[in-house]
């Protein structure tokens, strides 16, 4: 029997196709986030500014359009801070091995706190950085180690791509807000990823270095209640280095750290986790589908958690930090 399309069926198909194409083009348009202004920084004077901080200072308070600050290769020895009033900044280098921001302040010197020791700090929301390195160069001997932050991130909706964070103690202060780190390198020895952020680290390399007596700690997460959404999620990462370490310890009583599909070398101490001064049963330290000599579960603390498949999918999906699609609303 030959089938013939009725006028109603043809009209319905055309309307459906129109709506489908309209939705598709709306999505494409949403991805075309425009950069309103370009600023160039070069240490040799071949740019708009010679310092990164001067470039940031030139952006008006209350800015609501994306501004791209392109930093040419070189070592920029300066402290850089983005205040809460300067949103929508993209900080772009020419490769994390080519463009570096370095300074060497540290806490307990009579002049600085942990927060003010940061080489780079961002208190503004809607921030992104790519292809640049943040380093705290303080390398005090074992008897005088102190908190020395390379980067402090305290704004909401912040993303880092192909960046490096280098220090020894408290390298990356992931303080508050929702953050995304992709293909980054993070180096340290003691509590070198810490804070109360709600963050995903994807395809990052976490590397330990010598710098403290005894066994080090990678994370110190600060979730302080059962209702706190914060947590660190490491997805498809690589944990390596030269010194033995715990995966983390609880900075606050309900600390949450999830390692998923992550490779660990034999630098991980068998216990894996430390509750510090808290009750380990209140923490949420999770390892799922991890590999490598350091991922062996034998000897781990008894209070390490196991998540259901549904819960694991929730935390390892971008939706954990990106329900309002802020990542898609940043420049490509």
The catalytic site residues sit at 170, 191
What values do phi and psi take at 200, rounded to 5?
Answer: -115, 130
């Amino acid at each position: 029997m030959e089938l013939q399309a009725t006028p109603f069926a043809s009209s319905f198909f055309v309307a459906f196709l129109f709506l489908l194409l309209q939705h598709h083009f709306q999505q494409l348009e949403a991805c075309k986030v425009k950069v309103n202004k370009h600023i160039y920084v070069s240490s040799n004077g071949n740019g708009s500014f010679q310092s990164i901080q001067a470039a940031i200072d030139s952006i008006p308070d209350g800015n609501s359009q994306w501004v791209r600050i392109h930093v040419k290769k070189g070592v920029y020895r300066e402290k850089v801070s983005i205040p809460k009033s300067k949103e929508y900044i993209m900080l772009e280098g020419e490769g994390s091995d080519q463009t570096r921001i370095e300074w060497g302040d540290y806490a307990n010197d009579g002049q600085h706190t942990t927060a003010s020791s940061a080489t780079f700090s961002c208190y503004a929301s809607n921030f992104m950085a790519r292809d640049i390195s943040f380093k705290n160069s303080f390398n005090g001997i074992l008897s005088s180690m102190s908190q020395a932050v390379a980067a402090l991130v305290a704004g909401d909706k912040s993303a880092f791509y192909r960046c490096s964070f280098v220090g020894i103690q408290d390298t990356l202060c992931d303080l508050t807000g929702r953050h995304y780190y992709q293909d980054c390198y993070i180096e340290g020895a003691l509590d070198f990823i810490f804070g109360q952020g709600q963050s995903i680290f994807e395809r990052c390399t976490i590397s330990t270095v010598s710098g403290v007596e005894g066994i080090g700690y990678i994370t110190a997460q600060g979730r302080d209640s059962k209702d706190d959404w914060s947590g660190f999620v490491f997805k498809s990462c690589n944990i390596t280095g030269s010194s033995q370490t715990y995966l983390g310890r609880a900075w606050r009583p309900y600390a949450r750290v999830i390692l998923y599909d992550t490779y660990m070398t034999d630098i991980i101490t068998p216990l894996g986790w430390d509750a510090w001064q808290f009750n380990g049963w209140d923490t949420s330290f999770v390892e799922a589908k991890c590999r490598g000599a350091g991922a062996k579960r034998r000897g781990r603390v008894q209070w390490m958690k196991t998540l259901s498949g549904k819960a694991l999918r929730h935390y390892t999906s971008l939706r954990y930090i990106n329900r309002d699609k802020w990542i898609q609303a940043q420049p490509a």
